[in-house]
Amino acid sequence: MQEDDFDLFLRVLADVCQRYNWVVRAYCLMTNHYHLLLVTLSCSNAVMQ
């Protein structure tokens, strides 16, 4: 992954967090996967599908 890929991932993550009312407590981006620690402020069954 290039630096632009990481930037795009973070922008998309920010959009998704705003849409679903999530808060990112921690993240770790690696070249082939990522780890997220999220807090959900509202529960939606659609997100879990």
Sign of CA dihedral 47, 10, 24, 27: positive
Domain tally, the chain: 1
Domain that holds residue 29: 3-48
1-49 pLDDT tens trace: 788 999 999 999 999 999 999 999 999 999 999 999 999 988 766 655 5
| Amino acid code (one letter) for 4 | D
Q: What is the pLDDT of residue 1?
A: 73
